[in-house]
Each structure stands twice: as structure tokens, then as C-alpha cells.
Amino acid sequence: MAGLSNVPARTSLRVPDDGEEDVPRRIVAKQSTQDLVFTHGVRSIGMLVLVIVGSIGVFLGVQARPTFRHYGWSFFTEYRWLPAQDIVGIAAAMVGTIEVAMVALVIAFPLSLLTALFISDWAPAWLKPLMVRLIDMMAAVPGIVFGLWVLVFMQPHATHVAHWISKYFGWIPIFKVHTDVNYPIWNQAPGYPSYEGSAFIAGIAVSMMIFPMATAVMREVFSEAPAGEKEAALALGATRWSMVRTVVIPFGRSGIIGGTMLALGRALGETISVLLIISEAFKIKWNVLESGTATIAEVIASKSKEATPAQLSALLTAGFVLFLMTLLTNVIAASIVSRGRSGAGTEI
Amino acid sequence: MSIMTARHAAPPAPEPESPIRTDDDVEVIRRTRPRTSDDDLILVGAVLGSLGTTWLLYEQVLPFSGSLGFFVSWYLVFLVFYAGLTAITRPRAVVVDRVMTSLVVAAPCVVGLALGSTVVVTLAKGMGALVHVNFFTHDMSGVRPSDAYSAGGALAAMVGTVIEVSIAVAIALPLGVITAVYMSEVGGRGARVVRTIVEAMTALPSIVAGLFIYTIFIVNLQMQRCGLLAALALAVMGLPIMARASDVVLRVVPGGLREASYALGAGKLQTVWRVVLPTARPGLATALILGVARMVGETSPLILTSGASTFLNWDPLHNPMNSLPLYIYNAVSSGEPRFEVRGYAAAVVLLAIVLTLFLLARLVARGRTR
């Protein structure tokens, strides 16, 4: 027995304990000069971009200080824009910005969702790449072109729709128009607001701008829905819609919300089509169908050129507020998109 | 026995030669269709029935009018008829499926109509000025906006757009791509900060970028409005967009490729230059060209920075420089009918430029996938 127990002690490789601790060797990957230059060059350019880009945010923030000191909180609560009397506030413009963006979302969201679903689950294989390309192309169409389209083509129809809605649903506060709805739209009593140049009509143009963005995000997430789960649903006898409802939409929920938020961020900052369409009015107006509103971006575009330094500071502050609004939406959107089930990195 | 078990184990496996079929009959593959003629007839019936009903009620009985309302009502009545007809013979799940399919198919049609009408309306409105060659070869100097279309044109605006966008791209594109390389290839804590800030700044509304340049250069530094400032505003707006788009493209380059490159002894620069960038090339090109297209169409920063000239100006450093979006904006807001038509013609040119850039992006992307 004693002999047997000695055998393993002999055969195992016992390193003689000479008091030395085992320390993992430090691996030093020495970069070549070429790589050092590359790394540092790229890093310094990255930092340069950081400085350029960051300085805009800092600059806007710094410029906002004198405005806040001068106007205080009334800058946010004052709706009039009378620089000559030193009464300046962005309450009306903020309300208008949110209104236009909301109208755009109400129009664009269902269209984007349904179009993204069509591309991912309904379209035949030959149509899919064509539609993806078309929507990418739509994203590149300049905003001013959609503005023109709404101005010439949509507005005459949209005013009828607005008239119809205000006539039959005017009892809902946001659809009320402060005019006699029984007058035909081409014959409004003078002095009453009309249906043209309203937040609703500007929202149509903005919805065309944000639709491709929202659709692209949603489509991408939908296309990542696991094929196995989809096939399982179909194999269990689900109709196509039941499959979409139980597999694709729950899987793509983060993309739906995130894409919508990204689109909202874009809608808040849209300038030129709004500037073309709306008739500017500094009034807090919750009735979206009524003529006359203002958005922050549009106010900056229309008021900057003849602004005194004090007003310019106020406009910069308005720009800063707008930037913070879009930034907040984008940050929320990004965190929602990244939290979803989809979006894992590509690895071989 | 063993054959039987093998077959049971893997029923969907294709059988190369079925031993059962020994006769020489030519098998005709039966065409399978998910729909029956019953389904097709229900659809046709619903379309025709709803058209008739809508026409009768909308045009004859109820006090409505207008073509838009007619089509909307027709669609709604169609949905009801389609659901009702299906419900006679099919279970509820199928009814819901058909209604949702009708909605899902209608949405892209609506968008397609909108997009198509955008192009058609712009083209139709601008045709009056577009057919004259001088629209492409003359500027507006010495021409009143109300003059006939055979005088004056948008040459100054086209040249201005090309110069301004070229300068902006020359600034934003290299900086954007290198920043993206830094963010995704070099990495580290600094890269994370840069990524956060760059992603945040993609939210910068273009008008605010314009206002930034306007305040710094025109108000504080007392510079004249010129093409360079417009280009700077476009670059400031486009830099985060391009950096972020490139970053997204670089990040989907498979890590295995990089590791293979390092394992073969390549350094960082070699890996980026020889492996990562060539792999990402089609995606990168598409992202960057789309970024350029976005710059070409951007109007709002130009309102504040470039000033609008009527004359041809090749010098981005002095004197105002016109550009297509600005030309369109000034034309349309002028209220002068002939100038408006010129604006629409310029919009057609702008659309054509954007479309060309887009097709270029597709070509580049396709050329490299092989």
C-alpha cells in the first residue's frame, strides 16, 4: 500500500519550490512607429472634431446666459415677440414646435409602421430592395421640395380636410377654428383666421421629411426578427397578421419607439418647409387647424437677419432650447433602440 | 428497417432517388397557391360593391363632395365590405388578417402617391422655365424676376451650390471618416467621449448650425456674407452626421476579419487601410453620398450665411453667393408668378442632383459587393 501511494508522487511533475512566486508575464505589444503615428494622428483629429463640435454646444450654452439674466423665466412663459418693446419669449414658438412635430408624427407614424411591415413581411422578394431604395432616396429629397409640394398641391386639399374636421369635430378643443365653420373656406369673413398656413398643414410637409427615417429604423429592426419564431408561428396555423402581431411587433418594439423618437427629433428641428407654409403668429394656440403659428426653428430663420445683438442672443437661446429638445429625444431614442433584443454586433 | 428509421429521423431531408417511383411518368409539379379563386372573387366583389355603394351614397344621397373624400370613403367602405364578405365563410382570425393586409398594402401606396405627386407637381410647375436652355446657362443679373423665361436663369445658383457643397464636403468628409476610424478602430476612453458628443451633435438642427456660424463670423468677426461661410455652416451640420454614419458602417465590419489581419502580423494602420476600409467601402460610400445629398438640399443655414446674389460668383471668399435651395426659397416667397416658376424649375434641378448622387451611391455600393 505504501509503495503504491509513492508512485503518483514520483510521476507527477512537481516543480521544486524555490520560493519564487508565479507571476504572469507582462505582454507588451510594442507598436511600430507607423502605427504610433497613425494612432496619434487619428486621435488628435478625433479630438479636434470633439473640440469643433463640442464648442457649438458650449457656445450656445454660454450665449444663453445673458438672455436668462435679462429675461429670467419669462423667456419661457412669454408668448409675444416684440423686440422693440423688449418683450421676447418663446412660449408660443415652443408650443408651435411641439404641435407641428406632433401632427407630423400622427401622420407619419402609422404610415411608417405599416410600410415597414409591408417591406419586411408582405412585399414579394423582387419588390423589397426596390422599396428600400426608394425610401432611402426619399430621405435625400430636400425639405424645401416637400414644402413646395404642400404649398401648391396639398394645401388646397388639406384646407378642405381641415374645414371638414373643424365642422364636425370642432367640439374637441384642438380641432376648433375660431371662425364660422358654416362659411365655405374660400369665403371666410374678413378678420377671422382661415385654414391656410396652420400647424396642421406644416405638419404634412414635416411628416414627409420624417417618414423615411422612421421607416428605415423600423424596417431594419423588423428584418432582424428571428425567422425561426416567425416560421413557428406560421406552422402553428397563425395568419400572417397574427404572426406579425405575436412575433415581429414585440421583437421590433424598441425599433418602433426608437425610430419614432428619432423622427420626432428631426421634426422638431425642421425649418424651411415650415417657414414656407405657416403664417407666422406669436400666440399660444392649441387649435392645430387654425391659421397662424410659429416654431422655434422658423422664428430663428425669419428673425435673425435684422436682429440686434440682444435679440440675437435671445435667438441663440431659443436655438439652444431647441437643441436641448432634439438632444433629449435623440438620447431617449438611442437608449430605447439599444435596449431592444435586436442589434447585436456582427461577428464571424 | 434501418432505412425506415433513417427516414423517420429526418423527414424533410430531400430524397435523391425515390425507389418507389419506377414508372416513366413525367411528374408535373402542381402549382400551389395560397389563395383560392373564392378569395379573389371576394376581393373583387368587395372592391366593386364598395365603389358602387360609395358612389350612390357619397355622390347622390349625402351632401358631400370632393375627390379626396370620395376615395377615403371608398376605402373605408371597402374595408367594411371586405371584412363582412370574408366573415361569411372564414373565421375571425382570417378577417382580421385581411383587414390588416389591406391597411399594410395601402400605406406604401399612399406614400408612393405622395412622392410621385411631389415629383410630378414640381416638374409640371417648373416646366415653363426648364425648357429654355438659358435657364442653365445664364444668371439673374440684369433680369427682372417678372421677365420672360427666355432671359435669365439659375446658373449662379447651380455654381454656388456646387462650390459651397464641395468646400463643405472637403472639410466634413475626411474629418468625419477619420473620426469614425478613431471611434471604432482606435477606441479607448477618449473615443467613447467623442462618440457620445458626436452622437449628441447629430441632433443639432441645421438652422442652429447656421445661426452659430452667423453669430461668430458675421456678427462678431464682422465678415461679409459669402459662400465660404455657407460651406462652413453646412460642414458643421454635416460633420457629425457623416462621422456617425461612417461609424455605424465601420462597426459592422466583422471583428474576425480584423483579428485575422492581426494574426497575420499586420499593424493597426495596415489593418485599417487594407482590411477594414476596403470591407466597409460600399457601405461607407453609400453613407457618405447620402450625407452629401442631405447637404445639397439643406436650405436653412444658407438663409443666414451666404446671402443671395443675382450674379455669377466664382469666389467663395467675397460677395454673396447664391445656391439652389436659396434661389428656390427666394423665388417662391417673392410672390411673383414668373419667379415662382423659375423656383420650381430650380427645384427640379435640385431633385435631379440629389437623384444623381443617389444613383451614384447605388452604383458604388453594387460595384463592390462582388
ipTM (interface pTM): 0.81
User: Are the C-beta atoms of B304 and B211 separated by less than 8 Å?
Assistant: yes
Report CB contact under 8 Å: A45, B107. Answer: no
* pLDDT attached to residue B3: 42
The pLDDT tens digits of the residues spanning A37-64 come to 888 888 898 889 888 888 888 888 888 8
Residues B119 and B249 in one domain: no
**Percent of residues, chain A, with pLDDT higher than 70:** 87
> Of A50, A119, A331, which is closest to B194 when you measure between CB atoms?
A50
Residues B343 and B207 in one domain: yes
Q: Is A235 on the interface with B (CB under 8 A)?
A: no
- Calculate the alpha carbon distances from B362 to A128, A130, A285 in Å: 15, 11, 45
Q: Quick one: which of A288, A79, A294 has its CA closest to A165?
A: A288
pTM: 0.82
Does residue B144 fall inside a structural domain? no
Q: Which residue has the cell 373583387?
A: B44
CA–CA distance, A94 with A100 (Å, rounded to integer) = 10
Does residue B238 fall inside a structural domain? yes
Does residue B189 fall inside a structural domain? yes
Q: Is A208 on the interface with B (CB under 8 A)?
A: yes
Run of H or E residues at A87 = strand A87-88
Report CB contact under 8 Å: B186, A43. Answer: yes
* pLDDT attached to residue A109: 93
Question: What backbone phi and psi angles, to 5 degrees, belong to A176?
Answer: -70, 140
- Calculate the alpha carbon distances from A134 to A126, A128, A149, B350 in Å: 13, 10, 18, 17
> Of B108, B182, B294, which is closest to A45 when you measure between CB atoms?
B182
The pLDDT tens digits of the residues spanning A106-147 come to 999 999 999 999 999 899 989 998 898 888 888 888 888 999
Does residue B25 fall inside a structural domain? no
User: Are the C-beta atoms of A306 and A83 separated by less than 8 Å?
Assistant: no
Architecture per CATH, domain A98-339, reads as Orthogonal Bundle (1.10)
Which stretches within chain B are classed as H helix?
A: 2-9, 37-54, 67-89, 92-130, 134-137, 155-181, 189-201, 206-213, 227-251, 255-263, 268-270, 277-297, 300-305, 324-332, 337-369
Residue in chain B closest to A115 (alpha carbons) equals B108
pLDDT at B296 over 80: yes
Interface test with A, best of B215, B222, B241 (most A CBs within 10 A): B215
Neighbours of A299 (CB within 10 A): 27
Residues B75 and B214 in one domain: no
Q: How confident is the model at residue B21 (pLDDT cuts 50, 70, 90)?
A: low
User: Are the C-beta atoms of B181 and B250 separated by less than 8 Å?
Assistant: yes
Does residue B14 fall inside a structural domain? no
Report CB contact under 8 Å: A45, B179. Answer: yes
Residues B222 and B313 in one domain: yes
- Per CB-CB distance under 8 Å, the chain A contacts of B110 are 111
> Of B100, B197, B293, which is closest to A53 when you measure between CB atoms?
B197
Residues B248 and B115 in one domain: no
> Of B183, B215, B325, which is closest to A142 when you measure between CB atoms?
B325
Mean pLDDT of chain A: 82
Residues B273 and B330 in one domain: yes
Question: What backbone phi and psi angles, to 5 degrees, belong to B367?
Answer: -60, -20
Mean pLDDT along residues B13-32: 65
Does residue B141 fall inside a structural domain? no
B336's CB contacts (< 8 A; 6+ apart) are B145, B146
Residues B177 and B281 in one domain: yes
A118 min Cα distance to partner chain B (Å): 6
A 35-94 residues with CB below 8 A of B? 35, 37-39, 42-43, 45-50, 52-54, 56-57, 59-60, 63
Residues B113 and B180 in one domain: no
* pLDDT attached to residue B28: 84
Q: Quick one: which of A324, A339, A107 has its CA closest to B110?
A: A107
* pLDDT attached to residue A181: 65
The pLDDT tens digits of the residues spanning A319-346 come to 888 888 888 888 888 787 777 654 444 3
Neighbours of B292 (CB within 10 A): 25
Mean pLDDT of chain B: 82
CA–CA distance, A348 with B177 (Å, rounded to integer) = 24
Run of H or E residues at A340 = none
CA–CA distance, A135 with A138 (Å, rounded to integer) = 5
pLDDT at B11 over 50: no
CA–CA distance, B370 with B361 (Å, rounded to integer) = 16
Residues B208 and B354 in one domain: yes
**Cell numbers placing B193:** 467621449
Residue in chain A closest to B248 (alpha carbons) equals A345
> Of A114, A276, A348, which is closest to B103 when you measure between CB atoms?
A114
Residues B177 and B272 in one domain: yes
- Rg over CA atoms, chain A: 30
Report CB contact under 8 Å: A59, B347. Answer: no
B226's CB contacts (< 8 A; 6+ apart) are B306, B307, B315, B316, B317, B318, B319, B320, B321
Domain count, chain B: 2
**Percent of residues, chain B, with pLDDT higher than 70:** 89
Beta-ladder partners of A14: none
User: Are the C-beta atoms of B359 and B143 separated by less than 8 Å?
Assistant: no
Q: For residue B179, give the CATH number of its domain.
A: 1.10.3720.10
Domain-wise residue ranges, chain A: 98-339
pLDDT at B1 over 50: no
Residues B117 and B186 in one domain: no
What range does the domain containing B356 cover?
155-369
CA–CA distance, B251 with B181 (Å, rounded to integer) = 9
pLDDT at A175 over 70: yes
Residue in chain B closest to A330 (alpha carbons) equals B203
Neighbours of B122 (CB within 10 A): 26
CA–CA distance, A259 with A257 (Å, rounded to integer) = 6
Report CB contact under 8 Å: B179, A160. Answer: no
CA–CA distance, B174 with B235 (Å, rounded to integer) = 11
Residues B167 and B281 in one domain: yes
